[in-house]
Amino acid sequence: MIDIMDLLGSIENKEIFGHSLSSWILSLVILIIGIVLAKFFSHVTWKWTRNRLDRHGQDIFKKIVYYFVVIVFVMESLNNLGIDFSGVLVAGGVVGIVLGFASQTVVSNLISGIFMYFDKPLKIGDHVVIESVNGVVMDIDILSTKIRTWDGNLVRIPNDKLFNSIIENKVSNEVRRIELSVGIAYKEDIDKAIETIRNVLNGHTYVLVEPSPVIFVNDLGDSSVNITIKAWSPNDYAYQTKISLLKLIKEAFDREGIEIPFPQRDIWIRKRD
Amino acid sequence: MFDMREFGIEIKEEKEKFIYRRNGTEKVIFGKKIQFDLFPVAPSGISSYLYLKLRTPIMIQPENKIKFRITAPYDIEVRALKKGKWISIERIVTQNEKYALYGPIESGVLCRYFESDIGEREDTAILDLGIENQTKEWQEINKIVFPINFDLSYDKKVHYPQFDLTLTSTGLVISKKDTLKGIKEIEKLINVQKKYTMLWGY
């Protein structure tokens, strides 16, 4: 049978990297307690901010609390091993500069994330276009923002890049304007075509009465008289409205006998005398 | 007051379930002795405001009070009821469903839109308005916008709660009175917001 006192004695006497095994174990226990407490406090913070902040703000505060508690316990754990932090801070000037350069991007992302929280150019669930990325905001983290594109890919954009990008938020307002263009044959009556389009817009639930739609001849093209339609729609219904309007206008033109021409070219063949 | 056949509703009872059908919509409701009924409800749709455009604008002289009645839209809700508890089966739009934005693009409110006439019409609800012009100028009212946070009542006609409109220098303030007495109430009023100020013109 192993004598417990002997075991404790051997732990006390055994040295690893100049420190007793018991010191290492105590530091490890402090670290584990720190992580558990950090998780607990971050969870409490998350619950406390649930009705006070949006999800983005909740995430930021939760992570700040988590890392703060972890850092405090890591320092305490190292202190237990006899590592004096005041000495480290003084001596670590050069190291700090090196680390500073190395972590420049991380810090930049972090600060951009905090600025974005207050600026609020986007929020989770928004439809956004950021440069060539078009999709829905899935998550706004402290370092990056994740966008799910319409074809289902997940794009991660670092916050500092996002902060300096042109962000087009498609759902920041309740309504959005949709723009369509249809061509009619030169022989057709323009007023009749415009009236037909207006009737289609008036009959569509999600084309707003105010701001009123605008329909006008925009271009005298090579093969057609091009009519532009600018109509407002509730944001959530803008896409489906645009799709359905094109179909409804085509059907209405068919009913009214208004021709939508295809590109035509007359070829004259010169005969040699 | 409302006939299910008028709206093309068909409810078939089978073993311990009911099958609801209307215009291609089909729903199965499990349970026994369920009562189905139609109720007029405020026409919210995808918005929580109502925009009543007056076909005939109203002029009101300075420091004067008037009362008048206008037409207003309503929707029909099909409900399944059991022991005082109910669930909405379907909402039927009785008038043309259109929307409009009241206010500027960046801060306006999306509203269900309806063109109102002065007086009554067979197929619409009744909205009684009392207007007081507190300003020292003549005023013209073309539209009335207010939040939909009330229920309708009905006897032979569908009634909105009575609204009082006060024209002040800041805008048109709309406040809601209680549901008319003596008329069957569907539910108690949900008084989330009793006053609304039309800041972007009337």
Q: Any residues with CB less than 8 A from the CB of B175 and at least 6 apart, and which?
A: B163, B164, B166, B194, B195, B196
Q: What is the pLDDT of residue A60?
A: 75
| Inter-helix orientation angle A190-203/A238-256, to 10° | 140
Question: Is B25 a residue whose pLDDT tops 50?
Answer: yes
Q: Which residues of A touch B49 (CB under 8 A)?
A: none
Question: Is B182 a residue whose pLDDT tops 80?
Answer: no
Question: Is A267 a residue whose pLDDT tops 60?
Answer: yes
Cross-chain residue pair A236–B46, CB shorter than 8 Å: yes
Cross-chain residue pair A175–B102, CB shorter than 8 Å: no
**Cα–Cα distance measured from residue A66 to residue A271, given in angstroms and rounded to the nearest whole number:** 87
Residue A214 corresponds to which tokens in the numbers above? 């605008």
| Nearest chain A CA: its distance from B99 CA (Å) | 5
Q: What is the pLDDT of residue A189?
A: 94
Look up the pTM and report it: 0.71
ipTM: 0.81
Q: In chain B, which residue's Cα lies nearest the Cα of A204?
A: B98
Q: Which range is most confident: A87-101, A199-213, B138-152?
A: A199-213
Which of A2-11, A29-38, A47-56, B38-47 is predicted with the least confidence, judged by mean pLDDT?
A: A2-11
**Cα–Cα distance measured from residue B188 to residue A189, given in angstroms and rounded to the nearest whole number:** 56
Q: Which residues of A touch B106 (CB under 8 A)?
A: 172-173
Q: What is the pLDDT of residue A227?
A: 96
Model confidence over A189-230: pLDDT tens digits?
999 999 999 999 999 999 999 999 999 999 998 889 999 999
Instruction: Report the domain count for chain B.
Output: 1
Cross-chain residue pair A205–B108, CB shorter than 8 Å: no
| Whole-angstrom Cα Rg for chain B | 19
The helix (run of H) or strand (run of E) holding residue B99 is: strand B98-102
Q: In chain B, which residue's Cα lies nearest the Cα of A234?
A: B110
Residue A191 corresponds to which tokens in the numbers above? 């007023």
A/B interface, count of CB pairs below 8 Å: 39
Q: Which domains does chain A have, with CATH numbers?
A: 4-119 (1.10.287.1260), 127-169 (2.30.30), 175-256 (3.30.70.100)
Nearest to A175 among B51, B97, B110 (CB): B110
- Residue that is written with structure tokens 């754990």 in the block: A77
Give chain A's mean pLDDT.
85
| Nearest chain B CA: its distance from A119 CA (Å) | 17
Which of A6-15, A108-117, B24-33 is predicted with the least confidence, judged by mean pLDDT?
A: A6-15
- Which range of residues forms the domain containing residue B78? 4-198
Cross-chain residue pair B105–A209, CB shorter than 8 Å: no
Question: Is B23 a residue whose pLDDT tops 90?
Answer: no
Cross-chain residue pair B100–A237, CB shorter than 8 Å: no
Q: What is the pLDDT of residue B174?
A: 82
Q: What is the pLDDT of residue A90?
A: 62
Q: In chain B, which residue's Cα lies nearest the Cα of A177?
A: B105
Average pLDDT over residues B50-78: 92
Average pLDDT over residues B151-173: 85
Which of A63-67, A105-109, A212-216, B167-171 is predicted with the least confidence, judged by mean pLDDT?
A: A105-109
Q: Any residues with CB less than 8 A from the CB of A160 and at least 6 apart, and which?
A: A105, A108, A109, A111, A112
Q: Any residues with CB less than 8 A from the CB of A247 and at least 6 apart, and which?
A: none
Residue A60: closest CA among A143, A138, A119: A143
Q: Which residues of B touch A174 (CB under 8 A)?
A: 101, 108-110
Q: What is the pLDDT of residue B193?
A: 52
Q: What secondary structure, in 3-state letters, does B123-149 show?
A: CCEEEEEEEEECCCCCEEEEEEEEECC
Cross-chain residue pair A210–B105, CB shorter than 8 Å: no
Determine contact, residues A146/A154, Cβ cutoff 8 Å: yes
Q: What is the pLDDT of residue B2?
A: 78
Model confidence over B113-139: pLDDT tens digits?
999 999 988 889 999 988 899 888 898
Cross-chain residue pair B99–A236, CB shorter than 8 Å: no
Q: What are φ and ψ of residue A70, in 5° steps? A: -60, -45
Cross-chain residue pair B46–A174, CB shorter than 8 Å: no
3-state secondary structure of A24: helix
Average pLDDT over residues A236-258: 94
| Nearest chain B CA: its distance from A28 CA (Å) | 55
Tell which wins on pLDDT, A1 or A252.
Answer: A252
Nearest to A205 among B53, B97, B106 (CB): B97
Per DSSP, B118 falls in state B
**What's the one-letter identity of residue B23?**
N
List residues in chain B touching A: CB distance below 8 A: 46-47, 51, 53, 97-102, 105-106, 108-110, 113
Question: Is A75 a residue whose pLDDT tops 90?
Answer: no
Nearest to A175 among B97, B98, B105 (CB): B105
Query: What's the Cα-to-Cα distance from B2 to each of A18, A225, B42, B76, rounded to whole Å?
Result: 90, 50, 16, 9
Say how many C-beta atoms besides its own lie within 10 A of residue B126's C-beta.
20
Q: In chain B, which residue's Cα lies nearest the Cα of A172?
A: B106
Model confidence over A129-177: pLDDT tens digits?
998 899 999 988 778 899 999 999 999 999 888 888 899 988 888 899 9
Q: What is the pLDDT of residue B181?
A: 46
What is the secondary structure of A34-54 as a DSSP string? Answer: HHHHHHHHHHHHHHHTTTTS-
Site from A171, A176, A206, A209 to mutate, B interface, most B CB atoms within 10 angstroms: A209
Q: Which residues of B touch A211 (CB under 8 A)?
A: 101, 105
